């Protein structure tokens, strides 16, 4: 039997991943908000090419995707009830 290593608190956070994911998402939201506020485009990779996109465009696409996800999740909950 292999000896089990004890993880530190930070090690457990990285293994579990949720807190790291939330921190990255929050940082991305903050960066988009800053880009929108100062009017600077965001550099992204699309189809293997580096392009600039307005933060407003990215934020509106993200909002639409979140609305679709919430509607799908609500429909699934209603079907499972």
pLDDT of 2 > 60? The answer is no
**The pTM is what?**
0.60
Residue 52, strand partner residues: 43
pLDDT of 55 higher than 70 = yes
Residue 21 has pLDDT above 90, yes or no: no
Reduced to 3 states, what is the DSSP secondary structure of residue 14? helix
Q: Do residues 48 and 35 touch, judged by C-beta distance below 8 A?
A: no
pLDDT at 54 over 90: yes
């Amino acid at each position: 039997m292999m000896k089990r290593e004890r993880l530190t608190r930070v090690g457990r956070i990285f293994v579990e991943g949720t807190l790291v994911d939330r921190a990255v998402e929050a940082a991305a939201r903050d960066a988009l908000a800053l880009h929108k506020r100062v009017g600077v485009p965001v550099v992204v990779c699309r189809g293997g090419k580096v392009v600039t996109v307005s933060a407003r465009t990215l934020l509106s696409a993200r909002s639409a995707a979140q609305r679709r996800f919430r509607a799908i999740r609500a429909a699934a909950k209603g079907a499972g009830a």
